[in-house]
Structure formats: C-alpha cells, structure tokens
C-alpha cells in the first residue's frame, strides 16, 4: 500500500540528517511536520475504512455459513423424499456456499492483518510526529551553530545515489522477468487444475449424497 510506504519513509526519516542536508532547515523541519500531520489524517481515515471493511467481510462470511446450513437442510429433505436429483442439486449449493464461506474467512483474516498494520503505522507516526515537534527548535538551533557539509561529500553522496539507482533498476528488471516467467507457467497449469478441481467437486457431491442417504436411512 502506497500510504504505508509513505508513512514508513516518514517514520524512518532521521530528522537530524534532514536538517543538516537542507538548504533551508527551518522550512524543511516545518514541511516534515506538515507532511506527518497530513499522513496522520490519511492513516486515521484508512484505519476506519479498513475496520468497516472487516465488519462487512465478517457479515458476508456469516451469511454464507447460514446458506450452507439452509441448503444442507434442503438436501436432507430431498433424501428423505427419495429425490436424488434434488439432493444432488442442493449439495452442489452447499459446496458452493462452503467455498464462499472459506474465501470470506480468508479475507477476514487478511483484513484483520491489514487493520493491525494500519494501527501500528498510526501509532508509529503519532510517536514520530511528537518527536519531530519536540525536536524542531533544538534541531534548527543546532544547525545554525554548526553545519559542515563539503562539496566533495555532496558529490560522493550523489555518486553513491546514482549507482544505487542503476542497481535498483537492474534488480527490478530481473525480478520482472522472473515474475513473467512464473506467470506464464501458472497460466499454462490453470486449465488442468480447473478440470481436476471439477472432478474433485463431483466426487465430493457423490460422497455427500451417499453419506446423507446413510444418515437418513434412504
């Protein structure tokens, strides 16, 4: 998430280094504090949205669980009435809603993790903002008393940055090539997996039907 990346950048920022490297230290520290305040508002909003989404996903999971129970009752009734076709159809619905339930359950788990990540980012940013506000005057005063950055040091930092950028671009290119290769392999396997999944589902339906017949004495 881009928002969490921005927050992470702000949290990791070394205020002393930012002030030392800034051409206008007072403007820099004020801008950093302003950025933190803006990001704090965005994170608070995202936490609220994420919690709301979690509640919706939990509701969907519960609704599908109820559907599983409802269609299982219908399958049992069909077995009692010696209606195998209807029982099979009902069991197919049971399996479909069960798959949906499992899917929503996984989404709920993922969403809970996302909520916790956002809450953690919020706490860290609040702490960093408090630190920045407390250090602002001190950092600016320290910078006014002493700043020792030479042109040679600037050139070295710039050269290192350029080298790292070139390395990062190459690393990204290699990673993208590998990802494309994996994606092609997954696409090639999809058709076979879908056919096997269909066979497995058909077997599950027949097994559930047989179990129901035994249970219902049919």
Residue range 169-177: average pLDDT?
71
Q: CA 213 to CA 12: how far, in whole Å?
A: 63
The pLDDT value given to residue 127:
86
CB contact burial 184-208 (16+ within 10 A = b; e otherwise): eeeeeeeeeeeeeeeeeeeeebeeb
pLDDT tier for residue 150 given thresholds of 50, 70 and 90:
low
Percentage of the chain exceeding pLDDT 70: 67
Query: Average per-residue pLDDT in the chain?
Result: 79
Residue 11 or residue 97, greater confidence: 97
Residue range 29-47: average pLDDT?
85
pLDDT digits (tens, 9 = 90+) for 193-205: 777 777 888 888 8
Check whether 110 has a pLDDT greater than 50: yes
User: 154-158, 160-164, 193-197, 214-218 — which one is most confidently predicted on average?
Assistant: 214-218
pTM for this structure? Answer: 0.58
Residue range 190-218: average pLDDT?
80
Check whether 152 has a pLDDT greater than 50: no
């Amino acid at each position: 998430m881009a928002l969490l990346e921005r927050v992470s950048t702000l949290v990791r920022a070394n205020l002393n280094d930012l002030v030392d490297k800034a051409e206008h230290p007072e403007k820099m520290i004020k801008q950093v504090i302003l950025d933190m305040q803006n990001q704090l508002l965005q994170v608070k909003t995202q936490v609220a949205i994420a919690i709301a989404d979690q509640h919706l996903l939990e509701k969907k999971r519960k609704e599908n669980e109820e559907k599983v129970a409802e269609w299982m009752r219908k399958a049992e009734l069909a077995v009692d009435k010696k209606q195998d076709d209807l029982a099979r159809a009902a069991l197919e619905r049971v399996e479909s809603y069960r798959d949906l339930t499992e899917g929503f359950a996984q989404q709920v788990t993922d969403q809970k993790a996302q909520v916790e990540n956002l809450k953690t980012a919020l706490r860290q940013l609040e702490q960093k903002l408090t630190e920045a506000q407390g250090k602002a005057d001190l950092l600016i005063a320290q910078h006014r008393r002493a700043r020792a950055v030479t042109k040679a040091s600037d050139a070295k930092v710039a050269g290192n940055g350029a080298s790292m950028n070139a390395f990062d671009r190459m690393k990204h290119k290699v990673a993208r090539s590998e990802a494309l290769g994996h994606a092609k392999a997954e696409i090639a396997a999809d058709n076979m997996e879908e056919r096997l999944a269909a066979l497995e589902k058909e077997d599950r339906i027949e097994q559930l039907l047989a179990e129901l017949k035994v249970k219902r004495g049919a």
